[in-house]
Amino acid sequence: MIVGLIVACEALFWVLLLGGLAARYLLRRRRLSAVVLLMVPVLDAVLLAVIAAHLLSGGTADASHGLGALYLGFTVAYGHTIVGWADARFAHRFAGGPPPERPPKRGAAKLRHEAVGWARGTLACLLSAAALGGLILLVGDAERTEALRHSFAPLGIFMFWNTVIAVWGAAEAVMSPGASGGEGAGEAAPEGGGAWRR
């Protein structure tokens, strides 16, 4: 049941995202677009509520409950970035906005890009861990929540690779030709869609 709900939430996320952007740029209905996009966080709340209700009703956690908590943390942390990524492309395609900028390849701009990426991954892990910990405390039964405790391990693995990738990117930024000249300063990809999101 929980896996099916996660799949449904992911599908509805894209339906709401594309529907909201279509309302903004194709129908020119900015208020309708805002309402549709504001429904995206509701999906996360529904998922968490269903998981909590199932466990509080006497259910025993399994891997799907842990997966739901991890999904919640990562969608909250990365959701705004995905919306901004899609918004910039809709704005360029349908509203005469500037072409989406590519991530910087060198210099201080790339260092900032890598730092932001690492911080976002860390936030995803913290939110996922908080969701897992909150569910464990809410149920208050170690035997029924053992599967949730096992779900912390993937977060450690993710953080290891998240850090490795960030350090590798930072090293490339420092060691690349022209890094000290700040050549990458003007290449930074925008967070969200910039003015096109307002």
The tens digit of pLDDT for each residue in 49-70 reads 999 999 999 999 999 999 999 9
The per-residue pLDDT for 180 is 53
Q: How far apart (Å, rounded) are the C-alpha atoms in residues 139 and 137?
A: 6
Half-sphere exposure of 83 (CA within 13 A, CB side): 25
Q: How far apart (Å, rounded) are the C-alpha atoms in residues 155 and 160?
A: 9
Residue 55 lies in a domain: yes
Eight-class DSSP state of 27:
S
Take residue 123 and report the two structure tokens written for it: 């936030």
> pLDDT-based confidence at 176, cuts 50/70/90?
confident
Instruction: Say if residues 97 and 193 touch (Cβ distance below 8 Å).
Output: yes
What is the total count of domains within the chain?
1
The per-residue pLDDT for 114 is 94
> Can you give the pTM of this predicted structure?
0.82
**Does residue 16 surpass a pLDDT of 50?**
yes
Mean pLDDT computed over 137-164:
95
Q: How far apart (Å, rounded) are the C-alpha atoms in residues 29 and 197?
A: 13
Residue 114 lies in a domain: yes
Residue 198 lies in a domain: no
Q: How far apart (Å, rounded) are the C-alpha atoms in residues 145 and 65?
A: 9
Residue 57 lies in a domain: yes
Which range marks the domain in which residue 177 is found?
2-193
Tell me the percentage of the chain whose pLDDT exceeds 70: 89
Q: Which residues contact 45 (CB under 8 A, 6 or more apart)?
A: none
* CA nearest to 77, candidates 158, 147, 150, 3: 158
